[in-house]
Amino acid sequence: MTPLGNDFFTLFYSFHFYLFGLIAIASAILFVTRKSPVAAAMWLVNVMFCLAALYMLLDAQFIGAIQVLVYAGAIMVVFLFVVMLLNLGSADAVTDMRGNAGRIAAGAVGLAMLAEIMVLARSSFPATLKLKAAETAMAIDGPGGVIGPIAAPLFKEHLLAFELTSMLLLTAIVGAVVIGKKKGANDAR
């Protein structure tokens, strides 16, 4: 096992940072331009996963995990629930892939990522990219642990914005249910 140099890891980091950034931008453009709301929601999920990968690259693993759990998970489930409640999408328009070109491209990206994982598994990280044990212990043993520095500003300085966002989402869901009920009542006549 030969350790790879710092140049390799710098190139690896830079490549993936720009790769996930470009994928996020392309997915956001596709999200805005889709006619099917279900396909648009799936492109938005892709944007959320790319943002989570960028957070991971920036050494913010907690925020990356929360990005996946809260936004790509819970919020998108609510959006899809509302879309299905309003019956805005048809079953034929769930995917935007036509032909085999998209499937071949997805397979190539999957093989490239598998090759990267295999290369990283055989190498050792340089000391400059690792957190020192003292810094990690200080962060964990500090007030509030690892999550404290994130939770404290959220529930102290930004509590109003946090609550307003939750009320906005609740209002949107109630509005979708009301619109769905009116549409169903008109169809029964």
Together in a domain, 146 and 180 = yes
Closest CA to 87 of 185, 179, 189: 179
> Based on the domain organization, do 78 and 168 belong to the same domain?
no
Check whether residue 63 and residue 83 sit in a common domain: yes
User: Is pLDDT of 184 > 70?
Assistant: no
For 47-53, the CB contacts below 8 A with 24+ separation are 48/72, 48/76, 50/20, 50/21, 50/23, 50/24, 51/24, 53/16, 53/20
What pTM value is reported for the model? 0.55
Of 130, 155, 172, the residue that ends a domain is 130
Residues 40 and 94 in one domain: yes
Residue pLDDT, tens place only, 28-86: 998 888 877 788 888 888 999 999 999 988 888 888 888 888 887 877 777 777 777 76
Domain that holds residue 167: 131-189
Longest dimension (CA), the chain: 75
**Cα 78–chain centre separation:** 15
